[in-house]
Amino acid sequence: MEAINRRYVWIFFTVLLVLMAAAYIINTMLPENPKPYLLKTNTGETNSGEYYTVRDEKGTTIFQTGLAVHIDDRYISENDVEYVIIKIDGMNAQATIVQSQDATTSNIDSKEAGGFSFNRTIPAAAAKSTHVVMYHTHSDESYIPTDGKASQPGKGGVFVVGDALTETLENAGISVTHSKESHGPHDINAYHRSRRTATQLLKEQPDAIYDIHRDSAPAKAYYTTINGTDSSRIMMVIGKSNPNMKTNLAYAKRIKSRADKLYPGLVRGIFMGRGDYNQELYPTAILFEIGTEKISKDLAENAARCLGDVLIRDLGVRNGK
């Protein structure tokens, strides 16, 4: 009996050693830095400094983004052309045209479109009693040229960009709650953590809720000039996996249409990607990508101020002002 017990012990330890050896071999065979597109399911994004390039059938670049891109994701370009992703090969994707958007259906009075100078806001009386809330799911996101790094856990440069938007709105009489709650680390659970913040903010019954981010893409993908002033551009992101998608998208389209009139070139497009981005919580929930890590923070602040002007006019019209 004792001999049998010893044999089982030897078998157990032999199997254990084989498994440990196999695990070691597999681990050493894996690359030290897996390709970003292999990591996208962990965070919904590429690694810092990496990005997807989406081209049409002729090879012309449509847009670039650090957001994960999937088959059937859609993108409405600056010129209101809608594309659908049909093929992905590593960090490159191909898209084809779905249809052209009708930019004339936004019911924006043509008189509202003209004459705005950079960072000019509407008088406070125009937006009296209007309230919005904003937060940052990725509270670490920063701008390398001015912040020195792409990520600053819990104190990202994106907070300062949110401040610029807040200040612009408040100067026009719109009340703002700007949460600087940290939702780190920057991983798959960040949106679960920020969901608690969003839910708390929505108790204030705001007119809209904004999640402010910055993208990861080449500087040229976001750089522009607005009324002669250097600025970053903005991309809006809508989650396809939420029951409010049509309402959220209609809101984003209206913001883009108004921005196209006030500050042509400010909005580079609307990306409709996999996920919900907590937008199922509210019909006027929008995720804004303001600039990229490769652009200086002051350019992103300029874009936020222009966005504020757009939102001021939109919120004033929505509330019958």
Nearest to 215 by CA among 142, 166, 265, 152: 142
Instruction: Please tell me the predicted confidence (pLDDT) of residue 320.
Output: 56
Q: Is the CB of residue 90 less than 8 Å from the CB of residue 35?
A: yes
Instruction: Enter the pTM of the model.
Output: 0.79
Dihedral angle, C-alpha 201, 237, 139, 275, nearest 10 °: 80
Annotated domain spans of the chain: 1-30, 38-100, 117-318
Instruction: Please tell me the predicted confidence (pLDDT) of residue 313.
Output: 93
Sign of CA dihedral 41, 45, 48, 52: positive
* Structure tokens, 56: 């049409």
Nearest to 303 by CA among 193, 107, 160, 175: 160
**Residue 109 burial class via C-beta count within 10 angstroms: exposed 0-12, middle 13-18, buried 19 and up:** exposed
Q: Distance of CA 232 to CAs 35, 164, 265, 303, 309, Å?
A: 28, 13, 10, 6, 15
> 203-206 long-range contacts, Cβ below 8 Å, gap at least 24?
204/131, 204/133, 204/177, 205/131, 206/131, 206/132, 206/133, 206/177
CA distance 166 to 30: 46
The single residue listed with the structure tokens 């990725």 is 138
Instruction: Please tell me the predicted confidence (pLDDT) of residue 272.
Output: 97
Q: Is the CB of residue 90 less than 8 Å from the CB of residue 67?
A: no
Q: Is the CB of residue 270 less than 8 Å from the CB of residue 249?
A: yes
What is the CB neighbour count within 10 angstroms for residue 130?
22
**Residue 185 burial class via C-beta count within 10 angstroms: exposed 0-12, middle 13-18, buried 19 and up:** middle
* Structure tokens, 209: 């809720």
Task: Say if strands 92-100 and 234-239 run parallel, antiparallel, or are unpaired.
Answer: unpaired
The single residue listed with the structure tokens 């602040």 is 301
Provide the residue-wise pLDDT of the chain in tens; the chain has 321 residues. 555 555 555 665 665 565 565 555 444 343 333 343 333 334 466 666 689 999 999 999 999 999 999 999 999 999 999 999 999 999 999 999 996 555 433 444 433 333 333 343 434 444 348 999 999 999 999 999 999 999 999 899 999 999 999 999 999 999 999 999 999 999 989 999 999 999 999 999 999 999 999 999 999 999 999 999 999 999 999 999 888 899 999 999 999 999 999 999 999 999 999 989 999 999 999 999 999 999 999 999 999 999 999 999 998 756 555
Beta bridge mates, 52: 65
Instruction: Please tell me the predicted confidence (pLDDT) of residue 39.
Output: 39
Q: In what order do the strands lie in the sheet with 61-65?
A: 61-65, 52-55, 92-100, 81-89, 74-77, 267-273, 234-239, 285-292, 208-215, 131-135, 175-178
Whether the upstream peptide bond of residue 123 has omega within 30° of 0, thus cis, is no
CATH no. for 117-318 = 3.40.630.40
